Amino acid sequence: MWRVVSKLKNDGIIDLDIADYNEDDTVCVNNFVSRIKPNTSLIVCMSASNVFGVVFPIAKIGEQARKHNIRFIVDGAQTAGIMPLHSETDHFDILCAPGHKCLLGQMGTGFMAVREGVKLNPFMEGGTGSNSLDAQQPDFMPDRFESGTLNNSGIISLGAGIDFIHEKGMRNIYNHEMRAARLLYDGLDQDPKAI
């Protein structure tokens, strides 16, 4: 997402402000709120960082977005499949995530979940497999955003990954990953040759 919004800013299409993360939830949320301007129409926040291992207080940021009537998008790339994400309790309008990370699908898959009532314009139009005689892009979901032939094998793999997550349990997968990370950290901490 960073490159997309950077390009839009560089092309003069949008203004962009960056809110810094802080381990104190109140400070972190205030970092977002302090950047709200009269023309702010969108807040985008990752749910967690794979670089720093921090988890953003998206529910509290989402509350502020709703309070200020600003659309809220959550990037669930690092958490969808291992941590709960709920549009109602986390107050987001759109959730985006790739399929090949925590959802265990093939590369090249992913999803964008849009809260009912949120209207978006497609950025690409083309064949959808439905309403083929109409020259206009369908105006109903999900066909509105499905231009061209879908990656059916990828979608099936994403479905299998999600089935696996349901079978094993999201909390169990999360706990397993945390135990594995702790073993690695502890092992490196005890190795005098580790960098």
Coil vs helix vs strand at 104: coil
* Short-list 93, 53, 88, CA closest to 75: 93
The reply to whether the predicted model has a pTM over 0.95 is: no
Antiparallel, parallel or unpaired: β 110-114 and 94-98: antiparallel
- pLDDT tens for 22-80 read 999 999 999 999 999 999 999 999 999 988 889 999 999 999 999 999 999 999 999 99
Domain ranges of the chain: 2-190
Q: DSSP labels for 42-84?
A: EEEEESB-TTT--B--HHHHHHHHHHTT-EEEEE-TTTBTTB-
Place of tokens 């958490």: 79
pLDDT for position 105: 94
pLDDT digit string (tens) for 94-121?
A: 999 999 999 999 999 999 999 988 988 8
Task: Kindly tell me if the per-residue pLDDT of 6 is higher than 80.
Answer: yes
Q: Tell me the sheet residues that pair with 95.
A: 74, 113
Domain 2-190 listed as CATH 3.30.590.10: no
Element (H, E) at 171: helix 170-190
Pairing of strands 42-46, 71-75: parallel
